[in-house]
Amino acid sequence: MSIDNKLIILGSTGSIGKSTLEVIKHNNDNFEIVCLTADCSSVALAEQINFFKPKYAYLNNYLLIDDLKSRLIHNQTTVITDINQLHEILKSDLYNTLVSAMSGSTGLLLTFLALQANKKILLANKESLVMAGDLFSKYRKQIIPIDSEHNAIFQVIQNSGSKQIDKITLTASGGPFRVYPRSKFDQITVEMALRHPNWSMGRKITIDSATMMNKCLEIIEAYYLFNLKSNQIDVLVHPESIIHSIVNYKDGSSLCQFSRPNMQIPISYALGYPNRINSGISSLDLSSIETLNFSKVDHDKFPSINYAYNALSKSGTSCLVVNAANEIAVSAFLESKISFLNIFSIIEDSFSISLQNKNSSIEDILDADIVSRRKIKQIIKKYLIS
């Protein structure tokens, strides 16, 4: 029997990739895995290959290829090591859906190749829209977001269109420091920042939640995904992470999507769209919830929210620069090279960077990213812990 849903998963060993494969296990007869990719997790990738038997697998670390191959128990999968081979697969007719689950800017070009090949994109890679929003928005109809917030909006608005929307509200857990005193932010360690109260995520996105830079990126993402103005996008702190976003319509109605804080739910919606399939997660029993809390963002503690509005009001490359500054600062923090507060300082300093790129092609964007990172690495030097 032929299977219509043929998938490539970029970043299959990350938290989103793993959740995607869990959903597929519950609907195994409906999906075929064509290719799995990972950065350097050879053990996890080998386990996935052994179970799903994809036609191809790509590991972005040639030093671990022999280790990967030694763990395989069948020969049904061709392991590729050349990025150009992966490019050709993404351009091919071997699949119809790409799950873009890689974090960071590395997934940008790969996702764009699939868009150009007219594939459906299930997008978890925030950076693609943040770095290349104008370019990616031209392919808006091919994209289904799988971030819980944007997926919630996607579920609510359906075909209503942006003209009927007054504003949208992205909800935020507030991360591990929602009630932590601002006066003690200079004492925050990597271990403290990685303790998210609700979600199990990768290290980078967990730090983004701690700084609330994830909401900065999500505002920019929503701006391009849903064809909105920046003043139509708001953020509300909701520590229970039950209501994932709210759409406020011009007639005074407000509609929301709510569910358990588990990524398998939005992923299943995107995989099955326009139908709903088994996510493997049960529905929420509202009687078990005593209260739902909402509050405004404390901008003194989390200036990151305003970075989005600032970047959107400036040149087309400002969002790209903010993203690069955040990636570099988070990486340095995770390596204990800078303090938690320095993440904000580095991003704020990055607004002084001026780029002359036209930003009209994927090559322009990638070139601008290289230049901005070079300049940010100069900025970061004054914050390094000696």
| Mean pLDDT, rounded, for 105-122 | 93
- pLDDT for residue 95: 98
Tens of pLDDT, residues 26-56: 998 999 999 999 998 999 999 999 999 999 9
Tens of pLDDT, residues 241-277: 999 999 999 999 999 999 999 999 999 999 999 999 9
Q: What is the CB neighbour count within 10 angstroms for residue 116?
A: 13
- pLDDT for residue 1: 39
CATH for the 314-386 domain, from 3.30.70.980, 1.10.1740.10, 3.30.70.1230, 1.10.150.120: 1.10.1740.10
- pLDDT for residue 350: 97
- pLDDT for residue 103: 73
The chain-wide mean pLDDT, for the chain, equals 93
Residue 199 has pLDDT above 90, yes or no: no
Residue 354 has pLDDT above 90, yes or no: no
Task: CATH 3.40.50.720 in the chain: give the residue spans.
Answer: 5-145
Tens of pLDDT, residues 131-186: 999 999 999 999 999 999 999 999 999 867 778 999 999 999 999 999 999 999 99
- pLDDT for residue 3: 73
Name the pLDDT band for 57 (thresholds 50, 70, 90).
very high
- pLDDT for residue 104: 67
Q: What are phi and psi of 103, to 5 degrees?
A: -90, 155
| CATH code assigned to 5-145 | 3.40.50.720
- pLDDT for residue 151: 97
Residue 222 has pLDDT above 50, yes or no: yes
Identify any residues that bridge with 37 across adjacent strands, giving them in sequence order: 10, 58
- pLDDT for residue 179: 94
Task: CATH 1.10.1740.10 in the chain: give the residue spans.
Answer: 314-386
Q: Which of 99-108, 310-319, 330-339, 364-373 has the highest mean pLDDT?
A: 330-339
Residue 238 has pLDDT above 90, yes or no: yes
Q: What is the CB neighbour count within 10 angstroms for residue 39?
A: 18
Residue 357 has pLDDT above 70, yes or no: no
- pLDDT for residue 202: 79
